[in-house]
Structure 1
């Protein structure tokens, strides 16, 4: 848990950390679980993912700060037309093997209760993390 009031959630995924890692770094898989129109770019460390949602003309851009297979993926939001409050925040996914598959610890650093989007994002991240888990489980 973070100490800065950023959004956090932990879920158990019936898949390996490698399968969850792939779902976070392969653009086609990101498109699927995040219900995006398209995702292009590179999910490797130093790369960028450009994600188009719905009818948006400009992508949400995630700079990949870290992609250490299969334990951690850290993005930094450099552009977010759909949710401007996200710019400069860092979605962070940490995976660990468990008896049941994988524990996914998620923190969206900078997504704090004082932001206008916090309540909606709280609901949406909960939904999309469940979709991420289901996607990784289907691929396993």
Structure 2
């Protein structure tokens, strides 16, 4: 039996033509740093998230379908950094009740892949929230950091991780900085320290740092996490 690919369906108040144009503007909803173009068949582009990058070729572009083939990648947080190679992103468009239905499939991203669970969470954000907002209100949420999470005392805390030399431009407000020591895909397993974020990453010990929106008691919880995982 074939393994299921990642899939999500969106229904938006826009025409298919407008949806195709918006999706092809990759920096409007997915990655802040994009090289190349995705506007016509044969175009090539690369998205960057710190050390992680993916290179795509527009292998199909018609009035009801877009296909982006992964031609190369480097997924820094995975054991197999080339796990997305030979996979495809497929956008299928249909009109229904004065709306456009978009079926998005990442062909090759299946449950047996190391990044399936974390990549599913990331795709759900970029499709259901960022792309949907871009199509409905022209308000996308393209990223530079990688969505990440940690577990402490039975609670899940979510934020974004950045490479040590990468300055965050997408998270603002009252933030905490976790100096990341060890990860498993997008789960932070251990950390060196935690501190209030002053707008600069400083010089973290690890290759990555994580930013989280501060809330009452979070500093203490993260300090406990640091203490509990410092020996890892």
TM-score using structure 1 length: 0.83
2:69 aligned residue: 76
- Structure 2: how far apart are the matches of 1:106 and 1:42? 16
Q: Comparing both structures, which one devotes a greater share of its residues to helix?
A: 1
Q: How many residues align?
A: 131
Q: Which has the larger radius of gyration?
A: 2
Alignment match, 1:126? 124
Does the 8 Å contact 1:78/1:87 carry over to 2?
yes
The aligned residue for residue 49 of structure 1 is 45
Structure with a larger share of its residues in strand: 2
* C-alpha separation in 1, matches of 2:32 and 2:98: 29
Unmatched segments (≥5 aa) in structure 1: none
TM-score by length of 2: 0.52
After TM superposition, give the deviation of residue 111 of structure 1 in Å.
0.5
Moved over 6 A (4+): none
Secondary structure of the 1:75 match is strand
RMSD, aligned CA: 1.8
- Gaps (5+ residues) in structure 2? 76-80, 139-232
Cα distance in 2 between the residues matched to 1:118 and 1:30: 22
**Alignment partners' CA distance in 2, 1:128 and 1:19:** 18
- Label 1:120 to 1:107 Cα distance change in 2 as closer, same or farther (>3 A): same
Q: CA deviation at 1:59?
A: 4.2
Other-structure match for 1:98 = 96
Greater relative CO, 1 or 2 (CA 8 Å, sep 6+): 1
Partner of 2:59: 65
Measure, in 2, the Cα distance between the counterparts of 1:100 and 1:127: 25
- CA deviation vs aligned residue, 1:39-58 (integer Å, no higher than 9, x gap): 423431112122222x23x7
In structure 2, the CA distance between the partners of 1:88 and 1:31, relative to structure 1 (3 Å rule), is: same
Partner of 2:4: 5
